Amino acid sequence: MKQSKVPQAVSVGFLLVSAALWARAEVAVSGELKQWHKVTLTVDGPMAKESDQQPNPFTELLLDVRFIHESGSPDYWVPGYFAADGQAADSSATQGTKWRAHLSPDKTGRWNYTVRFNGSKHDGESGSFTIAATDKTGRDFRGKGRLQYVGKRYLRHAGNGQWFLKAGADSPETFLAYQDFDGTVTNNRKKGPLKSWKAHIKDWKSGDPTWKGGKGKGMIGAINYLSGKGANAFSFIPYNAGGDGDNVWPHVSRADKLHFDCSKLDQWGIVFDHATSKGMYLHFKLQETENDDQKGPGKDQALDGGNLGPERKAYLREMVARFGHHLALNWNLGEENTQSLDQIREQAAYLRKIDPYGHLIVLHTYPSQHEKIYGKLVGDKKSLTGVSVQNSDVGKTHQDTLKWVERSEKSGHRWVVAFDEAGNAGAGSPPDPDWPGVAEVRKKNKASKKPLDMPSVNDVRSKVLWGNLMAGGAGVEYYFGYKLPQNDLKAEDWRSRDMTWDYSAIALDFFQENKIPFWEMSNSNALVGNTKKDNSAYCFSKKGEVYVVYLRKANGKQQLDLSETQNAFSLQWFNPRRGGLLQDGKLNRVTGGGQIDLGNPPSDLGEDWVVLLKAKK
């Protein structure tokens, strides 16, 4: 642990329950004091217990810390939280004197801080510390900087300026229902059993984090696996009491909505810290449809009945205080959300108010309610900065993405449009064809009187992954249908979709390795004759400079309209099934001015291929 320039013992007074009871306090700054790394300020403050009612350490004894760079910018007010004994992940402590706030500093140099602790006459304690340059490279987000919404269709890393496309796991939504976390039980053993993540224990590596003498290896290993496959995102619901799984809540108990479990949340924090180091975007689905308001079966568990009241404010503040410093995340207001527009707007406004870093705020809703919800919020600069889209047919992913990309563009407030749940609830994105049990399910489904549409892994690659990206979407997460093995509630082996992770990594690498300026490009399906915007062929381009054409079945007959430019272009092919380097076909140079033939792919006629045209300089 590196010591800051903060004096080792500085006096700060804190009001406890009455004016007669005070405590001497110490402020300590710890962590790796480097740009974009997690820096922790710990105050030795009043003794408290998780369960205290008067005062409640989560609603009444509130720590906030102002962090200001020596240049005057950034200037952050960061919410803090009660941390029990400061070692709760290992000690399982429920009481203590430690209060914390986290900063992920944008700049090197001196940072000044000022403590504000619940209006005590002794608050205002201040100090400073110095931040050095990051030493991280590769996938580690600490080498790239915070992902920021900058008014475009894509998020951008504030450190290296790199634009972000995501591909990862939308399932299991019960990711955090893990038996190695303190205080984690299920209220629905059959439908929502706790996970061991034992299939991924072998992916844990020496030096990786654990807690309480070796717990956590399965979940840490799962993140290692997904990151190692080239995926860069996963989602989870931190509060699903009364929902499908009914096995995850950050509170001390399912019924108590105003007190939080310090050791459980510290353990979550260890997992999220590791995920950030592995280049994994954290998708916080803050609630689910059953418990978001008074309409669902879990209405008794709805925070403030769906309104923005003390329960919801305490929950959102705890999430931001503990996890908002992470560099790559979004706050999703709810899965299949059914709250009113006013409730959605109020929740978004509160998050915007308390999150010092301005993380992406999105919303997920039912396929049938896109127009009812998104249509009323598009253009509203005070609510969402993106959407987390769901449909019931993988074949509509391209059209659905394109709709909200274009609608938000025309509104003057661009959304980051991610597709996080494509396909019907029963199938979603299926396991690999040879995964145990898959062939049986498909056989039974085919023989049933009302067979469910079950897409293939190839359909998901073509219609979901490339369908979103070629529409100007920000990327995808894959939902695991409930009728298939390793489904949305019970999955704990991400190897079940091994092929899909490979295809996703191939697509992301295509855009990054070939330096394709996707953030400056837009969908142009008309140039390949696809005026219906179906899945036969997609075009994504920057006029006169670069054209990407995705062909679902390359047959040598496809043309591209280059009437808008007279430039000469190189023409190369990319295999979205195997990846690798760009390949040459018989035709490797074309000139604009009219319709041009793209020719045949280098091999595998009739399979899907990507054609890349770049203007000759």
Name the residue with tokens 């009914």. 246
Sign of the dihedral defined by the CA atoms of residues 407, 417, 303, 352, in that order = negative
**Residue 26: per-residue pLDDT:** 85
Both tokens of 98, joined, read 């430690």
Query: Cα 161 from chain centroid?
Result: 19
**Residue 17: per-residue pLDDT:** 34
**Residue 196: per-residue pLDDT:** 99
386 in helix, strand or coil?
strand
17: left (phi over 0), alpha (psi -120 to 50) or beta: alpha
CA distance 442 to 325: 44
CA distance 176 to 511: 32
Task: Report which residue type is found at 171.
Answer: S
Query: Cα 283 from chain centroid?
Result: 3
Residues in the chain with pLDDT values less than 50: 1-25, 121
**Residue 124: per-residue pLDDT:** 86
Both tokens of 2, joined, read 């590196």
Both tokens of 444, joined, read 């039974």
CA distance 310 to 589: 64
Domains, the chain, in order of start with CATH, read: 27-135 (2.60.40.10), 143-157+167-228+246-513 (3.20.20), 520-615 (2.60.40)
Cα separations in angstroms, 44 against 13, 48, 85, 156, 318: 10, 11, 9, 37, 19
**Residue 122: per-residue pLDDT:** 53
* pLDDT tens-digit readout, 30-52: 999 999 999 999 999 999 999 99
Q: Write down the pTM of the prediction.
A: 0.95
**Residue 524: per-residue pLDDT:** 99
**Residue 612: per-residue pLDDT:** 99
119: left (phi over 0), alpha (psi -120 to 50) or beta: left
**Residue 617: per-residue pLDDT:** 85
Residues recorded for the chain? 617
